[in-house]
Amino acid sequence: MDFVKLRRIMVDSQVRVNDVTSPEVVSAFSTIPREVFVPKGMRASAYAELEIEAGETRAMWLPRDLGKMLRAFEVDASDVSLVIGAGAGYSAALLGHMTDAVIALEDDEGLVDTMTERFAEIGMDEAVAVQGDLTKGLPDQGPFDVILVGGMVEDVPQAWLDQLADGGRLGVVVATGRGIGAARMYKRAEDTFAYREVFECCPPILPGFEKKSEFVF
Q: What is the pLDDT of residue 25?
A: 97
Collapsing DSSP to helix, strand or coil, 85 comes out as coil
Dist. CA 122–CA 86, nearest whole Å: 17
User: 58-99, pLDDT tens digit by residue?
Assistant: 889 999 999 999 999 999 999 999 999 999 999 999 999 999
Q: What is the pLDDT of residue 211?
A: 65
Cβ-based neighbours of 13, under 8 Å, separated by 6 or more = none
Q: What is the pLDDT of residue 215?
A: 42
Report percent pLDDT > 70 for the chain. 95
Q: Are 174 and 182 in contact (CB under 8 A)?
A: yes
At residue 58, φ and ψ (nearest 5 deg) are -130, 150
Residue 137 has pLDDT above 90, yes or no: yes
Where residue 51 falls among pLDDT bands split at 50, 70, 90?
confident
Task: Fold for 3-201, please state it.
Answer: Rossmann fold (3.40.50)
